[in-house]
Structure 1
Amino acid sequence: MRRILPIFVVTLAMAACQGLSPTPQGSGITAAEASDAATTTAAKSENKTLMRGGAASTTPKPPAVEQMASEPVEPFRTVSVTAEALAASLIIPLPASRDSNASALESERDRIDQLIAEGGLTREAGAKRLYRLAAKNGLIKVKPDEVLWQTIIQAYRNLDDRYITLEDAAGDIAEAFQRRREAK
């Protein structure tokens, strides 16, 4: 048994390397089979590059500059940052209205505003909740977005702890929005 097992394993390995082809060992493949195989392989590789958007496509693509919109697109809506607006509602970077996540974030903000008005939540905790929702929905994409949110959360923390006034918090948040716009 010990002598047969290695021979059996080697035979199996050789059969696997040959692909267990039904053709006899010495016959090989004919020229027609070789050209068919080459054509099939080339077609498969071309299909793969077309699926990936590779260079094998027959239609020329216009440069990326021509595909961009003519007007610059803000990643979020412009907001009015005043002490009155800050007293009325949390000021956060809401995504553009065409974004599918805009309504979800806006409705959550309204719900959190209601909790803050009832005294069940601090502004900082509400801003953190909205930050987590925005991060979960993929609205925080670049480092300037992250910095903007952290500045807003810090301003609300300072406001809740009464370190700063509404006017100072509004100024800090407005400055953070301005830095985000300039970071483009």
Structure 2
Amino acid sequence: MDEENKETVVLGAISRGISKFEKISRESNVSPKDLESILKKLENSGLIKVDEKKGWLGTKIEINPTENGYKEFERQLKILQEKWNQLENTYKSGNKQELEQKLKEDKSFLPSMMMFGIIDMMMFSMMFSMIGSTVGSFIPADDMGGTDNNVEDMEGTDMGDDGGFDIDIGF
């Protein structure tokens, strides 16, 4: 993910109410070192403010968006939505070469679109099917937010054979 998209993802996480450094790093899939420089840049731009609160257990640091930060995030979301709409329209036109070209041009925006739920995954998979490619060839696995592929994430899940549906209708 390029620097601009990392900034958008971090600002988005903060705008959605995540205010702790560790949680922002985890949710945005950005290393603590990169996150520190991004936060400094966002603070210098006036998009976030860093508050130190003193409590019984020591100093607590909270990171919150400013009004300008909210506006900038909304502007970035609108841009991402417009890019997605263009991709959808290109797919619907049936022009395989144009779709492949647009996907390559917007490659760096795809992880952000996934992160913010802009992408319709069914449409997305049909796009890749149309051009005869896979998502992995466009987006590295480490850029796909929320898809860590960790076995530990599956703890406590029921992998039973009934598909999760257990309905007694009384017959």
Q: TM-score range by the shorter chain?
A: under 0.3
Structure 1 or 2: more strand by fraction: 2
* TM-score normalised by structure 2 residue count: 0.26
Greater Cα radius of gyration, structure 1 or 2: 1
